[in-house]
Amino acid sequence: MKTPDVIVNGKDNGEGMVIHYKTTKGTDVFGLAIPNVYTHTDWDLGPTWCYLIAGQKITLIDTGRIGNFEVFGSLLKSTGKALSDIDRIIITHSHEDHDGNVAEIVSATHTELWAHTIYRQMISYHPHVTDGATHPELPGSCRLCRMPEGFYYENCLPYHKERSSLKIDFAIEDDQKLPDEDLNFLFTPGHSPDALCIVLEEEAIFTGDTLLPGITSHPSLAHAFKVNHRILPEEYRQRNDVYGLMNYIKSLSKIARLASQPLKATFPAHRLFYNGRFNLLDSSERAKEVIQFHIDRCRDILRIIDGKPAGIEDVVVRHFPPSRLSGMGKGLAENEIRAHLEIMEECGDVRWTDGNKKLVQLTGSENYLDAIESF
């Protein structure tokens, strides 16, 4: 990928930057780095990169973290475009650092809102469906939320209420193509059940959180399917094709095997620019690297458990460095370990020794290798 031109310089982590890339066919692509500040942790994910495609239609991919409508408008001006120029918004998935300002932008522009067909269920409330949800009173995307209750009511309540009232003008189906606009949509669940990547002119791919430089996306848990299957569209209720690490690995494999690979440009939602430099990706090679990363993590988890039952907290502490376990980090780390254990349990490589799934032991097999490597 050629290095994009910098229109506006930002912070060392990329926040506040605006960049420009022109495709071989002459389509202008702008990247806007919207602040992505989390409280209760000192870990820096970097800003959320939102992208403006100035093609047949002016298309905005993602809208950034909640509370940044004014910042978005300011960065947009530097591209030579105005809010009124935006013809449609495409949301890559239903997390607050990706669709956080969407209600304000739609209200200001009356533009079309596009998202995967599951997105509607993720932003809607389903209080009548409990099914083991820790927070059945929250929208579909947050029914298993691990954030402190005070954090939710302080930061997320207005955003969720506004988001739930949105009209989805175009529900994108799995791997849909728009030949007239040279746009292809890849359905890439695993991090989120409604996750999309967008391919422009078989040259540039916008990966959302599915593929990131330097870090790996937090996988959802396959357990979430038991909690949420009844809120999903009918065609996704019978079999889990949208939650868990194995579905994320399937999505990575889909990117790696695109017929148009190698693509010339990859635009991730985080860390395109970080630590004072661009992190330019080959999407196929990076997808393979991330799959190998998860194979290696499974191998390390088995090494830690070894010959006797191990507590999930012990596995977490022994696998992750202390810097990753501060604040909210410990809960996120436990979820990541559980996502790997779900695969190994399904493959018969581990079993839980207690009903609360706190103690796990080996069975002696390593079938997860064949299961993952098949992709």
Residues 248 and 316 in one domain: no
Domain-located, residue 286:
no
Domain-located, residue 186:
yes
Distance CA 375, CA 372 (A): 6
Distance CA 328, CA 218 (A): 13
Residues 105 and 142 in one domain: yes
pTM of the model: 0.95
pLDDT tens across 249-303, in order? 999 999 999 988 899 999 999 999 999 999 999 999 999 999 999 999 999 999 9
* 298 alpha carbon, distance to own chain's centre: 21
Residues 274 and 297 in one domain: no
Residues 50 and 194 in one domain: yes
Distance CA 345, CA 136 (A): 27
Domain-located, residue 257:
yes
Residues 17 and 105 in one domain: yes
Domain-located, residue 127:
yes
- The amino acid occupying position 276 is G
Mean pLDDT of 8-28: 97
Domain end, chosen from 281, 307, 322, is at: 281
Residues 257 and 138 in one domain: yes
Residues 222 and 360 in one domain: no
Average pLDDT, the chain: 93
Would you state the pLDDT for residue 330? 86
Domain-located, residue 216:
yes
Go through the chain and tell me how many residues it has: 375
Residues 91 and 230 in one domain: yes
Domain end, chosen from 259, 281, 303, is at: 281
| Domain span holding position 159 | 5-281
Domain-located, residue 117:
yes
CB 58 within 8 A of CB 74: no
Residues 276 and 318 in one domain: no
Residues 302 and 276 in one domain: no
Domain-located, residue 287:
no
Distance CA 173, CA 30 (A): 26
pLDDT tens across 30-88, in order? 999 999 876 555 668 899 999 999 998 999 999 999 999 999 999 999 999 999 999 99
Residues 270 and 337 in one domain: no
Domain end, chosen from 256, 281, 306, is at: 281
- C-alpha distances in Å from residue 352, one per residue of 81, 310, 355, 360: 56, 10, 7, 4
Q: Is the dihedral of CA 69, 70, 76, 80 positive or negative?
A: positive
Would you state the pLDDT for residue 325? 87
Total domains, the chain? 2
Domain-located, residue 288:
no
Residues 65 and 111 in one domain: yes
